[in-house]
Amino acid sequence: MNTIKPIYISAFAFLVLVGCGTSKQVVNTTGLVAITAPLNIAKKAPIKENDLQRWSHLDIITDTIPGMSVDRVYAELLKGKKGVPVIVGILDSGVDIEHEDLKSVLWTNTKEIAGNGIDDDKNGYIDDIHGWNFLGDSTKENLEYERIVKDKTLVDEATYQAAKALNDKKVADAVAGKTRSEQMLEAIVTGDAVLVKHFGKPVYTIEEVTAIVSQEPATQKSKATMQQMLSYGLPIADLKVAVQKQLDEQVALINGDHLKTDYRKVVGDNPNDITDTKYGNNNVMGPDKNEILHGTHVAGIVAQTRNNALGGDGVANNVQILTIRAVPDGDEYDKDIALGIRYAVDNGAKVINGSFGKSFSPHKQWVYDAIKYAEKKDVLFVHAAGNDAKDIDYAENFPNDSEDKVTEFADNVLTIGALNYEYGNKVVARFSNIGKINVDVFAPGVKIYATTPNNTYKYLQGTSMAAPNAAGVAALIRSYYPKLSAKQVKHILMDSGIAISTDVIVGGKATDTRSFTTLSQSGKIVNAYNAFLMAEKMSK
């Protein structure tokens, strides 16, 4: 093993790591000292586009951006080292396996002969070359509470009444929100048209809008409108699509359309029978590439090829993406998730990313059993905390690793909250769920740049993006320190993270400020550099 040269950092960057209930300075055998967050320091200048595209890889000390110090790991800790390949299961909407930045990092089932229509490896899945599609040709699906309202036999009476109450509230909210959505869409279209004419170009930044100086009333009004719209973090074209989709969903709710369609019949199985496993197909991209944006983006965050001058860079450099298509446009079925976890485990995944979640889970025990199976097989399951700005110590959020929200039944689940790229009191993403008990640690989740279908790249945000950032670090550790267990890697990511002790804004509400230490079990943000130092120490 090559000796790693010590680095020198300023006095405020000297770290005291807290782990296992004791405070101590952690120094690994190379003499390197881990890094800590500078208190009360905020980045004054706007973040540059090049930095924004890879901010989750940047360093909180050198860049004053709450990234995971991934670039620093490669530059300072991995030179001359070789890792082992690690399979990462992407349990999601599907992945564009033809993408220019992903096709070189795909898992391939060498026990299966492509296209011969035979289950060569006798695992129950015919021609599963790059994974399995549990959704078949289905793309859209009901939300779980809608399925419960349609069939109350799925749950007990209390759960049914909770689902019905939620449905009634959703319909009432849709009636009230429909006008607002129409007004918002009109404001976006009108304001965008004015500013496109003002700038003489179709795309502009929030900084350019802020700098507008004009006495013309229409321009002033459009400036104010589009500043607000751009603050949501989406390009205007994507925002229009999102608002239109919201409006369409509101209309569907008002008309009761959401309770009329049985989407599952396209798949052809019984979703309430866990023994009915002969369904789906090997097309992990599904029938429509437009429906696999989410899964393709998640896969890219973990593994898009590094340093190839295409798009962004993945966190991990020695991984193989195993695709399990199980998350539709709507809520996932417990059966698909349970079987998907088991499929990933049985095919060698050491890390599984789950960027999905819901508030009702009629067959949660199937998923719990699959998580326990993954734990037994030494597989880490990284899960997104959710985007409802709720405290999941109280609000329901499935899947999870605790039936009572207090006692964990497995120690291989890592639940991830989302960070904003602004280091300061806005460091927590406005949408991120929190939980002193049930969120483990935070990772970058706002404006994350990664692969999208058809050789494109986009910024997306959500705890869905935070989870694969953390999963990428976990995979990187499992590649270079393969003897460490899933449980050890989980606690390394939690214990080695950078502690933030200042007050932060929660839920995007300036009136709600809390100590960052109260928002997750660790009170920390994932840091790959620190994680590698701890992994090095623990491996010895």
Q: Which residues of the chain have pLDDT under 70?
A: 1-31, 38-44
pLDDT at 25: 33
pLDDT at 258: 86
Instruction: Give the domain 11-139+270-539 fold.
Output: Rossmann fold (3.40.50)
Give the residue carrying structure tokens 């933030």: 500
pTM for this prediction = 0.85
Q: What sign for the dihedral angle of Cα 121, 124, 127, 132?
A: negative
pLDDT at 20: 30
Q: Which of 69, 355, 464, 496 is catalytic?
A: 464
CB of 162 closer than 8 Å to CB of 152? no
pLDDT at 444: 98
CB pairs under 8 A, 24+ apart, for 70-79? Answer: 70/315, 70/472, 70/473, 70/528, 72/528, 72/529, 73/476, 73/528, 73/529, 73/532, 74/306, 74/317, 76/4, 76/5, 76/7, 76/529, 77/4, 77/529, 77/532, 77/533, 78/480, 79/2
Quickly list DSSP for 64-76: SS----HHHHHHH
Q: Which of 59, 92, 101, 334 is catalytic?
A: 92
Angle, vertex CA 372, rays to CA 370 and CA 378, nearest 5? 105
294 is catalytic: yes
d(CA 148, CA 145) in angstroms, rounded, equals 5
464 is catalytic: yes
Domain boundaries, the chain: 11-139+270-539, 153-259
> Pairing mode, if any, of strands 22-24 and 17-19?
antiparallel
Plot region of 40 (φ>0 → left; ψ -120 to 50 → alpha; else → beta): left
d(CA 4, CA 76) in angstroms, rounded, equals 7
- Packed helices 157-199 and 217-230: angle between N→C axes, nearest 10 degrees: 140
The H-assigned helical ranges of 324-443 are 334-346, 364-376
pLDDT at 377: 98
3-state helix, strand, coil in the chain (%, to 5): 40, 15, 45
pLDDT at 44: 61
d(CA 330, CA 328) in angstroms, rounded, equals 5
DSSP state of 140: B
Q: Which of 198, 258, 294, 383 is catalytic?
A: 294
d(CA 286, CA 226) in angstroms, rounded, equals 36
